[in-house]
Structure 1
Amino acid sequence: MQDGEELYGEWFILENTNSGLIQSNKPDNFAFDFNEIEKGVQQINVMSRYNSNIEEFNIEKFMAYLSMYNM
């Protein structure tokens, strides 16, 4: 997304969980793999195998994710 005041545009946190429709081996709250990101973003707010929540970027939440998943 473009933002005239920000060099890299607006940043968001995309929080993904598994939907109840399909059994998945991904732990809840996961990142898309690089090869999944384009399709995953297109399916936000669409009934699919994942539920995605979009939030404005929050550095504290981002750092908490890093500490939880970067053991």
Structure 2
Amino acid sequence: TLHESKPDVFDTLNVEHWEQRLIREALKRTRGNIPESAELLGISRATLYRKLEIYNIDKDSFQ
């Protein structure tokens, strides 16, 4: 049926939740490199730094 019980990768549709996950993934892939992470995310370095502060994400923990 259409509503079968399946694991839902979209367990939340909260934008801030997904934004944090994307930032963490970009930092992981680039080993904490801010310019490369910002490029992957399609945002400026200044925006990425601001979001790191807002979400209390430590870029150094990805090195």
TM-score exceeds 0.5: no
| Structure with bigger gyration radius | 2
TM-score, length basis structure 1:
0.28
Q: Which has the higher helix share?
A: 2
Q: Which of structures 1 and 2 has the larger relative contact order (alpha carbons within 8 angstroms, sep 6+)?
A: 1
